[in-house]
Amino acid sequence: METKEFLAALGDALEPSRVVLDPDITSGFSRDMMPLAPSGTPLAVVFPIDTAEVAAIVKLCAAARIPIVPRGAGSGLTGAANAVDGAVTMVMTRMNAILEIDQGNRLAVVQPGVVNLDFRTAVESCGLFYAPDPSSYDWCTIGGNLSTNAGGLCCVKYGVTTDAVLGLEVVLASGEVLRTGRRTVKGVAGYDLTKLLVGSEGTLCIITEATLALRPKPAAPVTLVAAFASTEAAGEAVSGAIRAGLVPSLLEIMDATCIRAVEAKHGTKVLGDGETPAALLIGQSDAGAGVGRREMDELEVVCLRAGATFAYVTDDLAEGRMLLQARRDVLSSLEMFGTWLTDDVSVPRTRIAELISACEKISAQVGLTIGVVGHAGDGNMHPTIVYDAADPAQAAAAELAFGLMLDAGRALGGTVTGEHGVGRIKQDFLAREIGPVGLDLHRRIKNALDPDGLFNPGSMFTEAPTPAG
């Protein structure tokens, strides 16, 4: 099929307003939030409104052998939603309905384009709770969360996106519609296709609907903040918390670079007039009814035993929010000093201090500021490089540091991505981590589901298409 003919067929399949060819508009859909990833120019950007339209577009693309890049809000941090030259970018944001909230069975059925925060708010109004809360929760979509198996701050207690998915409706590369999973709490009928498809970064299917497990709304959190004179002491506190059997609902760490950035942004010291500490831990418990307070009091003792120079526990919600806000402000504070490039390394929880120390060495080696912030309770750290993107030497140094930190994480028994995914920036690191047998198995599964390489070529481990001649 000629391109012209294909575009005409696309125009017939969708309302004109939902097939966009104007480069001034389509260029707005060429990238996500990862500055390092390659991106191309989409042939067209389409906005389907239901599963039938998705299936029709997939069939048209399959017939014309034109690849498809599925895309949510574009909040991703690996370029997995970046446009590919000559491919159709399929934007799922118009399929944003919450189809059902079933309180009796604690589940919901949603379309992929619903924004995480909108969904959270809707279920909370029913006394329920959707746990996965990536930092971009106020604008990322559930479909993107599913495609990347997104995590967030609550993971330490409640797990990641895959732990909340009961079933999916997807469109396969053949254009067929497949329903996986179930509406029951448990079910083992056949292979766990649901969990295979979650986290597949748009390379195996287009997600058109999801059935999600909900939890009872937890109690209002009790918050702890603790300051340390060394990152080792903070790391020891995290290990101590695990050994003590504590299960906080949130346990975050910030190093001195991040703390100073936040202090600079707000023009105030986080600990009043005291010195800037080497590390801060911020913990919460949502166990409620006195238990939350006791858990945070126990964590305070663990922190003090590990050498905390300051520790404070509060039941006051506004105060707790304010303390947590310092954590949430890290990226925007670092941004005042240059472009940020955030990495995503997950290490065993006992190795956090070693990872921070490795990042300090890498910072010195490449001559760039690196602030370490992360989900200490589950070992998923986001060392963030600050650099001048207009300076090619600094950009090269940033890319070097990005990779060195992944190598450091792997050397500590970790993985090259805890929650952001592989996308178009970590293919080589993925290949090294999973090895040739694992890579071969990935290719065989990809080939079984998408033999013509229709979905998201160039992401994860798949071949980028050769540009049309």
Residues 90-129 binding its own copies (CB under 8 A) are 102-106, 127
Question: By rule CB under 8 A, what string of x and - marks binding of each residue 333-352 to its own copies?
Answer: -------------xxxxx--
Instruction: Report the C-alpha gap between 406 and 415 in whole angstroms.
Output: 8
Which of 442, 453, 456, 462 touches its own copies by CB under 8 A? 442
Query: 255 and 371 in contact (C-beta within 8 Å)?
Result: yes
Question: By rule CB under 8 A, what string of x and - marks binding of each residue 290-309 to its own copies?
Answer: xx--x---------------
Stretch that binds its own copies, among 61-69, 273-281, 285-293, 394-402 (CB under 8 A): 285-293
271 binds its own copies (CB under 8 A): no
Length of the chain: 469
Instruction: Report the C-alpha gap between 401 and 244 in whole angstroms.
Output: 35
Residue 4 or residue 186: which is nearer to its own copies going by CB? 186
CA torsion sign for 329, 133, 428, 87 is negative
Number of residues in contact with its own copies, rule: CB under 8 A?
A: 89
Instruction: Report the C-alpha gap between 111 and 99 in whole angstroms.
Output: 7
User: Running DSSP on this structure, what letter comes out for residue 217?
Assistant: P
- Please report how close the Cβ of residue 85 comes to its own copies at its closest, in angstroms: 25
Residues 14-53 binding its own copies (CB under 8 A) are none
- Please report how close the Cβ of residue 273 comes to its own copies at its closest, in angstroms: 36
Instruction: Report the C-alpha gap between 142 and 96 in whole angstroms.
Output: 9
Among the listed residues 376, 367, 365, 377, the one whose alpha carbon sits nearest the alpha carbon of residue 404:
365
Among the listed residues 461, 382, 378, the one whose alpha carbon sits nearest the alpha carbon of residue 200:
461
Residues 51-70 binding its own copies (CB under 8 A) are none
- Please report how close the Cβ of residue 451 comes to its own copies at its closest, in angstroms: 9
Residues 178-207 binding its own copies (CB under 8 A) are 178-180, 182-193, 195-196, 198-200, 204
Instruction: Report the C-alpha gap between 301 and 287 in whole angstroms.
Output: 18
Stretch that binds its own copies, among 2-10, 67-75, 364-372, 411-419 (CB under 8 A): 411-419
Residue 200 or residue 394: which is nearer to its own copies going by CB? 200
260 binds its own copies (CB under 8 A): no
Tokens at 209, concatenated = 């609907």
Residue 43 or residue 173: which is nearer to its own copies going by CB? 173
Residues 217-246 binding its own copies (CB under 8 A) are 217, 239, 242-243, 245-246
Question: By rule CB under 8 A, what string of x and - marks binding of each residue 135-174 to its own copies?
Answer: -------------xx-x---xx--xx-xx--------x--
- Please report how close the Cβ of residue 248 comes to its own copies at its closest, in angstroms: 12
Residue 49 or residue 178: which is nearer to its own copies going by CB? 178
Instruction: Report the C-alpha gap between 301 and 241 in whole angstroms.
Output: 10
Q: Max Cα separation, the chain?
A: 71
Residue 12 or residue 176: which is nearer to its own copies going by CB? 176
Residue 195 or residue 269: which is nearer to its own copies going by CB? 195
Residue 6 or residue 461: which is nearer to its own copies going by CB? 461
Which of 422, 425, 455, 458 touches its own copies by CB under 8 A? 422
CA distances from 316 to 12, 113, 227, 282 (A): 58, 35, 19, 14
CA distances from 308 to 67, 225, 234, 305 (A): 54, 10, 7, 7
- Please report how close the Cβ of residue 424 comes to its own copies at its closest, in angstroms: 14
- Please report how close the Cβ of residue 159 comes to its own copies at its closest, in angstroms: 8
- Please report how close the Cβ of residue 240 comes to its own copies at its closest, in angstroms: 9
Residue 343 or residue 378: which is nearer to its own copies going by CB? 378
Q: Which residues pair with 274 in a beta bridge?
A: none
- Please report how close the Cβ of residue 433 comes to its own copies at its closest, in angstroms: 5
CA distances from 371 to 105, 340, 381, 422 (A): 43, 10, 11, 21
CA torsion sign for 394, 36, 133, 121 is positive
- Please report how close the Cβ of residue 146 comes to its own copies at its closest, in angstroms: 12
User: Running DSSP on this structure, what letter comes out for residue 239?
Assistant: H
421 binds its own copies (CB under 8 A): yes
Among the listed residues 458, 466, 467, 463, the one whose alpha carbon sits nearest the alpha carbon of residue 37:
458
Query: 382 and 371 in contact (C-beta within 8 Å)?
Result: no
Q: Which residues pair with 179 in a beta bridge?
A: 169
CA geometry: angle at 7 spanning 5 and 10, to 5°? 110
Residue 44 or residue 430: which is nearer to its own copies going by CB? 430
Spell 92-103 as b/e; 16+ CB within 10 A means b.
bbebbeeeebee
- Please report how close the Cβ of residue 150 comes to its own copies at its closest, in angstroms: 8
Residue 40 or residue 377: which is nearer to its own copies going by CB? 377
Stretch that binds its own copies, among 60-68, 137-145, 358-366, 435-443 (CB under 8 A): 435-443
Which of 84, 430, 456, 457 touches its own copies by CB under 8 A? 430
